[in-house]
C-alpha cells in the first residue's frame, strides 16, 4: 500500500512538472509572439513615417519645380520644358496632324493623357488650342445655363458641382502644360486617353443632362 502511494505521488509530481513545463513553453511562445507583433507594428510605423516623409518631400519638390521651371534637375520640369518646346514649335497653324516632332519622336512624356494639350499645340498650333478652349468655354457656359434654369435648388447644386469639376480639370491640365500651374496627373476631359476618365466624365455629364431634361414638364 505504501509502495502504491509512492508511485501515485511520483506520477502526480511528474504530471505537475509536465504541466508546468507546458505552461512555461506556452508562456514563452506567447511572449515571442508579442515581441514579434511589436516588431511588426514598429516596422509598419517606420514604413508609414518614411512614406509620409517621402510624400512631403515630393510635395516640396513639386513646389520648388514650379518656382524654378527652367531647371531640369527638378522632378517634373523635364515634362514642362518639353511641353513648352512642343507648343512653341507649333506656331500659329501647327505642323499638321501626326507631324509633331516632340510627340512622334518620344521627347514629350505622357503625351496621350497629361500633356495631350501640348500635342494639340504642336500639331494644330495656336488656332487648334484656341478652338479647343472656345469649345470648353461653350461647354461650361451651357452647364451654367442649365444650372440657372434647373427646376429646384438641388438640381442647381448638382450642375454647379459638375461644372466646377470640369472647370478645374480643364484649367489644371492646360495650366500645367504651359508652366502656369504645378504638374499633376489631371486629364483633359473628353480629350485625354483613359477609359476611367472618360466614363467618369460621361457619368457626370449624364447628371447634368438629366437635370436639364427635367427643368420642363415632359409630354409623351
Confirm if 120 and 129 have CB atoms less than 8 A apart.
yes
What is the Cα gyration radius of the chain? 33
Which range scores top for mean pLDDT: 3-17, 32-46, 62-76, 125-139? 125-139
Residue 138, all three cell numbers: 461653350
Residue 200: pLDDT over 80? yes
Confirm if 68 and 77 have CB atoms less than 8 A apart.
yes
Q: Which of 50-54, 126-130, 187-191, 202-206 has the lowest mean pLDDT?
A: 50-54
Quote the CA–CA distance of 121 and 117 in Å, as a whole number: 6
Q: What is the pLDDT of residues 136-192, one digit of tens each?
A: 999 999 999 999 988 888 889 999 999 999 999 999 999 988 888 888 888 899 998
In 3-state terms the chain splits into helix, strand, coil percentages (rounded to 5) of 75, 0, 25
Quote the CA–CA distance of 140 and 134 in Å, as a whole number: 10
Alpha-carbon distances of 32 from 26, 44, 46, 101, rounded to whole Å: 10, 18, 21, 63
Q: What is the pLDDT of residues 71-108, one digit of tens each?
A: 777 766 778 888 888 888 888 888 888 888 887 887 88
Residue 12, all three cell numbers: 502526480
Quote the CA–CA distance of 109 and 128 in Å, as a whole number: 21
Residue 132: pLDDT over 90? yes
- Residue 46 pLDDT level (bands cut at 50, 70, 90): confident
Percent of the chain topping pLDDT 70: 85
Q: Which of 3-7, 44-48, 58-62 has the lowest mean pLDDT?
A: 3-7
As a whole number, mean pLDDT of residues 100-129 equals 85
- Residue 17 pLDDT level (bands cut at 50, 70, 90): low
Amino acid at each position: 500500500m505504501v509502495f502504491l502511494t509512492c508511485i501515485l505521488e511520483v506520477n502526480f509530481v511528474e504530471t505537475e512538472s509536465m504541466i508546468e513545463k507546458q505552461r512555461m513553453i506556452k508562456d514563452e511562445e506567447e511572449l515571442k509572439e508579442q515581441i514579434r507583433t511589436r516588431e511588426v507594428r514598429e516596422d509598419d510605423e517606420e514604413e508609414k513615417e518614411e512614406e509620409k516623409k517621402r510624400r512631403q518631400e515630393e510635395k516640396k519638390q513639386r513646389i520648388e519645380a514650379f518656382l524654378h521651371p527652367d531647371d531640369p534637375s527638378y522632378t517634373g520640369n523635364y515634362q514642362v520644358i518639353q511641353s513648352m518646346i512642343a507648343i512653341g514649335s507649333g506656331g500659329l497653324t501647327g505642323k499638321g496632324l501626326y507631324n509633331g516632332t516632340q510627340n512622334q519622336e518620344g521627347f514629350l512624356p505622357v503625351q496621350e493623357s497629361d500633356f495631350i494639350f501640348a500635342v494639340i499645340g504642336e500639331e494644330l498650333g495656336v488656332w487648334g488650342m484656341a478652338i479647343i478652349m472656345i469649345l470648353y468655354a461653350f461647354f461650361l457656359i451651357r452647364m451654367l445655363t442649365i444650372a440657372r434654369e434647373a427646376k429646384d435648388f438641388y438640381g442647381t447644386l448638382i450642375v454647379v458641382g459638375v461644372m466646377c469639376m470640369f472647370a478645374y480639370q480643364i484649367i489644371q491640365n492646360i495650366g500645367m502644360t504651359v508652366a502656369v500651374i504645378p504638374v499633376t496627373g489631371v486629364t483633359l476631359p473628353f480629350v485625354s486617353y483613359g477609359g476611367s476618365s472618360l466614363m467618369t466624365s460621361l457619368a457626370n455629364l449624364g447628371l447634368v443632362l438629366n437635370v436639364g431634361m427635367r427643368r420642363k414638364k415632359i409630354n409623351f
